[in-house]
């Protein structure tokens, strides 16, 4: 009896706004700030919004609602929730492990934040120990002053020069090696920043939703404040509107290219946070009768709006940078980490009081990337009798964070950025996320039953979902997922760096191993469950017997529908 009394009950959000803020902080992340604006510019400007909205409506929103409902209905994490819905769908959680690789981005941002308190900013000049003779001081007039002397160099000959901000990123922060086959030494500054990020992550979730629910009041709200401040500041800079026009100028001819549609699909999946398990976990801490239907629709709208507005913030700064340098905007646009760690720091260095704007930007990046309780909550739900005792969760979190930190030490080496790009490109790419989303739609739409899921939503919220979502869960989203999954392979290109570096063959093989590990576990789990099953198959007769006995999971959902019809 005493042992049972020591087991803590599963927690809930103390206030509804804690869930809203936590979900908003989860879905609005780094991809909204650095990925969407670049993809919009790259794939036809305003024309890119058409495929983006197409996938947002037919894939993003249905999957977002589906995962939120699953969490709230089962009151379980991303692993154990499927035991109440469709046990064969377990095993699709591997992809969430690879998302931990983005902790290194927070470490880079933290290191930049530390450097923001220097005057002048270290990336704004060429008078540093890491600079070379090719360095160009970005604060000099017309960008013609070169570190080695008074020679003038045309910026069109970009291969002959390096901006001071690029050299700071490559030679000081990363000390980048020649390739992934040359890992080099550990960068101790980055290592300490990575350790600080994991310590902050631990203390933000060490008491579960009790601590996370309080942390999100700051981590979720502050980035929006910073984004609004940077937006107002950016739009008032000279050259800003040229950047905005460049960002949104439509090129409808690009819609005929497969790459544009694949980029839109991947961006929606990344930014909506689907298939990673976080939406299921956050929803599982809701009260049973929370209106998750309305919450999901508002959160999806918030996500897409934030991505769109972030583009104005980024490209107004890029337009200003192009104006100051007297060069075309396409020469200052960078993709991926380059946009966050090269383009915007360079723009901030050209503004009045550069330390303030740079600090605001990197603090926003750090708070956008603060992690949630996804994996740890799932493990605790798997072993509630052991993990929900006093201090068990805290000890487990210490071990989990420590293991993740040790594994990620390899990312702090001189060749770590190559490993980061390899993992980002293969392990958690759009195709892997699509496959997990396809499994979820199949498990719910056909295994559990889309009609039953609608009954569940109506019983919990009092509102029946639109028939549109039922059609998406059964037909539209799985069909689009299959088509795009094939499209990703047709559009596949081996990973290369911005400098044209080709990875060795063993690195590509490692990438494919990581990609396959994200998708093959679920089918293997399903086959093993079928082969090892000792009970008869769930036929129509057995299903009726299970319902008559008041079974959980699908039977309970059917009971909801029957009570609604007879009542």
DSSP string, 305-353: HHHHHHHHHHHHHHHHHHHHHTS-GGGT---THHIIIIIHHHHHHTSSS
Contact yes or no for 440/89 (Cβ under 8 A): yes
The answer to whether the annotation marks 371 as part of a ligand binding site is yes
| Per-residue model confidence (pLDDT) at position 8 | 66
pLDDT of 471 > 90? The answer is: yes
pLDDT of 555 > 50? The answer is: no
| Per-residue model confidence (pLDDT) at position 114 | 94
The answer to whether the annotation marks 271 as part of a ligand binding site is yes
- The 10s digit of each residue's pLDDT in 129-185 is 998 888 877 655 444 333 333 333 444 444 557 778 888 998 999 999 988 998 899
Contact yes or no for 267/303 (Cβ under 8 A): no
Own/partner long-range contacts of 397-405 (Cβ < 8 Å, ≥24 apart): 397/202, 397/205, 397/206, 398/202, 400/375, 400/376, 401/198, 401/199, 401/201, 401/202, 402/198, 404/100, 404/103, 404/198, 405/194, 405/195, 405/198
- The 10s digit of each residue's pLDDT in 32-77 is 777 888 788 788 788 898 999 999 999 999 999 999 999 999 988 8
| Per-residue model confidence (pLDDT) at position 62 | 95
Beta-carbon contacts of residue 84 (< 8 Å; ≥ 6 apart): 73, 74, 76, 552, 553
| Per-residue model confidence (pLDDT) at position 134 | 84
The answer to whether the annotation marks 7 as part of a ligand binding site is no
The answer to whether the annotation marks 416 as part of a ligand binding site is no
pLDDT of 563 > 80? The answer is: no
Q: Is 384 exposed, middle or buried (0-12, 13-18, 19+ CB in 10 A)?
A: middle
pLDDT of 333 > 70? The answer is: no
**Fold assignment, 16-113+193-533:** Amino acid/polyamine transporter I (1.20.1740)
| Per-residue model confidence (pLDDT) at position 518 | 79
Taking the domains of the chain in order of start, what are their residue ranges?
16-113+193-533
Residue 374's pLDDT band (cuts 50, 70, 90)? low
Mean pLDDT to the nearest integer, 248-269: 88
Q: CA-to-CA distance for 456 and 458, rounded, in angstroms? A: 5
Beta-carbon contacts of residue 296 (< 8 Å; ≥ 6 apart): 61, 64, 65, 68, 69
Contact yes or no for 33/226 (Cβ under 8 A): no
Q: What share of the chain in percent tops pLDDT 70? A: 84
Best-predicted range by mean pLDDT (15-29, 190-204, 388-402): 190-204
Quote the mean pLDDT of the chain.
Answer: 81
The answer to whether the annotation marks 368 as part of a ligand binding site is yes
Beta-carbon contacts of residue 106 (< 8 Å; ≥ 6 apart): 193, 194, 197, 365, 366, 369, 370
Contact yes or no for 82/293 (Cβ under 8 A): no
| Per-residue model confidence (pLDDT) at position 80 | 85
Beta-carbon contacts of residue 349 (< 8 Å; ≥ 6 apart): 120, 121, 123, 124, 138, 139, 165, 358
Exposure string for 244-274, b = 16+ CB within 10 A, e = fewer = bebbbeeeeebbeeeebbbbbbbbbbbbbbb
The answer to whether the annotation marks 133 as part of a ligand binding site is no
Mean pLDDT to the nearest integer, 218-223: 84
Classify the phi-psi angles of 334: left when phi > 0, otherwise alpha if psi is within -120 to 50, otherwise beta: beta
């Amino acid at each position: 009896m005493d042992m049972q009394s020591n087991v803590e009950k599963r927690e809930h959000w103390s206030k509804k706004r804690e869930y809203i803020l936590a979900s908003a902080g989860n879905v609005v992340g780094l991809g909204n700030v650095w990925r969407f604006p670049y993809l919009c510019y790259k794939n036809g400007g305003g024309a890119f919004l058409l495929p983006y909205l197409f996938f947002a409506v037919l894939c993003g929103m249905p999957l977002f609602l589906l995962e939120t409902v699953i969490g709230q209905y089962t009151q379980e994490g991303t692993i154990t929730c499927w035991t109440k819905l469709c046990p064969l769908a377990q095993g699709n959680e591997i992809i969430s492990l690879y998302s931990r690789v983005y902790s290194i981005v927070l470490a880079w941002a933290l290191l930049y934040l530390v450097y923001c308190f220097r005057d002048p900013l270290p990336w704004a000049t060429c008078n540093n120990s890491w600079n070379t003779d090719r360095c160009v001081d970005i604060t000099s007039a017309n960008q013609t002053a070169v570190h080695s002397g008074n020679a003038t160099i045309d910026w069109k000959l970009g291969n002959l020069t390096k901006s001071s901000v690029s050299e700071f990123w490559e030679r000081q922060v990363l000390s980048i090696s020649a390739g992934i086959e040359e890992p080099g030494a550990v960068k101790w500054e980055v290592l300490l920043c990575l350790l600080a990020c994991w310590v902050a992550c631990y203390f933000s979730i060490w008491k579960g939703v009790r601590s996370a629910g309080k942390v999100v009041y700051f981590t979720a709200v502050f980035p929006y404040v910073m984004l609004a401040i940077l937006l107002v500041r950016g739009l008032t800079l000279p050259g800003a509107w040229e950047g905005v026009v460049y960002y949104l100028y439509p090129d409808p001819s690009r819609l005929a290219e497969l790459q544009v549609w694949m980029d839109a699909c991947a961006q929606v999946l990344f930014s909506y946070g689907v298939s990673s398990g976080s939406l299921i976990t956050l929803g599982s801490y809701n009260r049973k009768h929370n209106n998750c239907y309305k919450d999901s629709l508002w959160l999806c709208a918030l996500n897409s709006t934030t991505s769109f507005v972030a583009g104005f913030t980024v490209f107004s700064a890029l337009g200003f940078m192009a104006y100051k340098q007297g060069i075309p905007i396409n020469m200052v646009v960078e993709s991926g980490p380059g946009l966050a760690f090269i383009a915007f720091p360079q723009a901030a260095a050209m503004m009045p009081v550069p330390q303030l704007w740079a600090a605001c930007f990197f603090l926003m990046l750090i708070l956008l990337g603060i992690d949630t309780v996804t994996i740890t909550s799932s493990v605790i739900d798997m072993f509630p009798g052991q993990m929900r005792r006093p201090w068990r969760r805290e000890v487990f979190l210490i071990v989990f964070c420590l293991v993740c930190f040790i594994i990620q030490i390899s990312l702090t080496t001189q060749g770590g950025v190559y490993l980061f790009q390899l993992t980002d490109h293969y392990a958690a790419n759009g195709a892997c996320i699509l496959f997990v989303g396809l499994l979820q739609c199949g498990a719910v739409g056909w295994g559990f039953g889309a009609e039953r899921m609608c009954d569940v939503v109506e019983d919990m919220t009092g509102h029946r979902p639109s028939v549109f979502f039922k059609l998406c869960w059964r037909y539209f989203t799985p069909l689009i997922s299959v088509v795009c999954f094939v499209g990703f392979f047709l559009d596949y290109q081996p990973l290369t760096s911005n400098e044209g570096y080709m990875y060795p063959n063993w690195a590509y093989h490692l990438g494919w191993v990581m990609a396959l590990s994200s998708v093959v576990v679920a089918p293997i789990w399903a086959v093993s469950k079928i082969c090892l099953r000792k009970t008869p198959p769930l036929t129509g007769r057995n299903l009726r017997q299970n319902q008559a006995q008041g079974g959980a999971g699908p039977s309970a959902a059917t009971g909801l529908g029957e009570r609604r019809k007879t009542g």
